[in-house]
Chains A and B, each alone.
Chain A
Amino acid sequence: NAGVTQTPKFQVLKTGQSMTLQCAQDMNHEYMSWYRQDPGMGLRLIHYSVGAGITDQGEVPNGYNVSRSTTEDFPLRLLSAAPSQTSVYFCASSYARTGDSYEQYFGPGTRLTVT
């Protein structure tokens, strides 16, 4: 299994540009999520999905869109990049069935800089 994969590893954008961060998992996990990591703030949840066709907002959703057309993929779209979106982005996945212990598996991260 490749686990959770993310592309690209690094990205530099200019203010106002849009882009999509890719995330894929091959563990047949129902639950997928996007976090951003900023110094001293831990990980903050942006959006999550409990299955194909179902998404919901997390703690910091503004400026980001997601969709979940398949179980495997959960792309994160930045609509109009702003310097405040400079961060490291992590995708994670887990089982979501009742009775499962829900530890999440994380991708390697995408380091995004917006100038």
Chain B
Amino acid sequence: AQSVAQPEDQVNVAEGNPLTVKCTYSVSGNPYLFWYVQYPNRGLQFLLKYITGDNLVKGSYGFEAEFNKSQTSFHLKKPSALVSDSALYFCAVRPSPFYNQGGKLIFGQGTELSVKP
């Protein structure tokens, strides 16, 4: 079955330290990979995506993510965390573009990021 896993329910980081939020996937074909962020009582906001090309992709608010095909991972990173980065982060994958019409996404269960001053 196709799936996305975020192995950590919560990640705690001190402000100014680097952060990593992990994501692994199990899908067929060459997936499109996404990260979204959800602030309290808000909808999801798109952060970044990997479609093809350079394995390191840069997105909004200083976030970046590294695609690793051999490890089927797409970890989200930021060199220096801010308190305002505290939110719920979702990894999502759109499997097998050729066979999948219209952008259906499979989401991980989410990781709560807490950045303390």
Contact = CB atoms under 8 A, between A and B. Distances in A.
Interface in A83-115: 90, 92, 94-96, 100-109
B43 A103 contact: no
Contacts, number: 61
Contact of B32 (A33, A96, A101, A107): A101
A106 B34 contact: no
B90 A43 contact: yes
Interface in B15-54: 32, 34, 36, 41-46, 49, 51
Contacts of A90: 43-44
A41 interface: yes
B90 A96 contact: no
A96 B43 contact: no
B108 A33 contact: no
Contact of A109 (B36, B43, B94, B109): B43
Interface string B55-97: 0000000000000000000000000000000000010001000
Interface string A54-83: 000010000000000000000000000000
Contacts of A109: 41-43
Interface of B is mostly: loop
Interface of B: 9, 32, 34, 36, 41-46, 49, 51, 90, 94, 101-105, 107-110
Interface size class on chain A is 20 to 34
7 closest Cβ pairs, A-B complex: A102-B103, A96-B102, A50-B102, A106-B43, A42-B109, A31-B102, A106-B44
B103 A94 contact: yes
